[in-house]
Structure 1
């Protein structure tokens, strides 16, 4: 397990946070993924924290799966670009498979890796989604083909 993953796991244990499952990936970056969900509007949104030996830690939330099949993608991307211009901590994007995701990339070295920043980022994202998820989904439903 990489240093950031160890530190994150220690934080979870110390704070009695039991909603994450750890998965160690056997790759050159010594990646460890912590999986959970964010419950928003009765939906369980898959959430991962990706740690490795690079300077990046990713917080990723899957907002909707296979979205582009029935959506006017140009209108959706225009709307997402508007949202992305309003928020600094995270960005919305659509994957190759049509999933709508939200990513936050936190940069740090081992020396200055701060688990509190990661957990605060998760909290900010959750508060944002609680407030904006219904608006986002209403907009998405309005641009269905």
Structure 2
């Protein structure tokens, strides 16, 4: 597995700047991918934001704008919104992932491992964080939702004894 120089530089930047809002996960793949996860707080709910750093020339900032929100009824409105926003903003692009009926926003930062600047990556991320609250009202309308669904609900684990305990507490 190649050494992830970008992750090391980003980690140092986070420590130096006392930024503590990220969870870190080593993927252990052939590119040495490390994923940093945080959230963008909006009026319609928290949107997971991921920073994907690896040994390639690409660094990705990915926002899960709406997990599982794309339906046959709202697809055209979402695509119209995406096309308009993508034509205006150069530094990030929206897309619909059909596999999980979700809306994502990606920002790609290209650099060699030795030319990677974590400060620049952080500036790009902050532009997205500042942008999102301004479009949440329109996203709410085009996605036809009041609140974002929990993007991790499908991955939650429940245990039978926990469910039984919760049920007995409700009855008490």
1:105 partnered with 2:96: no
With the length of structure 2 as denominator, give the TM-score of the two structures.
0.78
Q: Given the superposition, is the C-alpha separation of residues 123 and 139 from structure 1 closer, same or farther in structure 2, using an over 3 Å criterion?
A: same
**RMSD of aligned C-alpha atoms?**
1.5
The alpha carbon displacement at 1:135 in A equals: 1.9
Aligned equivalent of 1:65: 67
Structure 2: runs of 5+ lacking an equivalent = 146-172
Answer yes or no: is the 8 Å Cα contact 1:71–1:140 preserved in 2.
no
Task: Indicate the SS of the match to 1:68.
Answer: coil
Secondary structure of the equivalent of 2:101? coil
Give 2:55's aligned residue: 53
Q: Secondary structure of the residue that 1:66 maps to in structure 2? A: coil
The residue that corresponds to 2:134 in the other structure is: 131
Q: TM-score, normalised by structure 1?
A: 0.91
Q: Deviations over 1:66-104 (max 9, x none)?
A: 112353323321221111111001011111211111110
Question: Could you tell me how far apart the structure 1 residues matched to 2:17 and 2:35 are?
Answer: 19
Unaligned runs of 5+ in 1: none
Task: Give distance in 1, aligned partners of 2:73 and 2:129.
Answer: 25
| 1:33 equivalent in structure 2 | 35
Q: Does 1:114 align with 2:99?
A: no
Contact in 1 for aligned 2:63/2:105 (Cα 8 Å): yes
CA deviations 1:4-38 (Å, max 9, x no partner) are 00100100001111110110011110000001111
Aligned residues: 142
Q: Is 1:55–1:108's contact at 8 Å kept on the other side of the alignment?
A: yes
CA contact (8 A) 2:59 2:108 kept: yes
Query: How far apart in 2 are the matches of 1:140 and 1:67?
Result: 6
Q: Answer with 1 or 2: which has the greater Rg.
A: 2
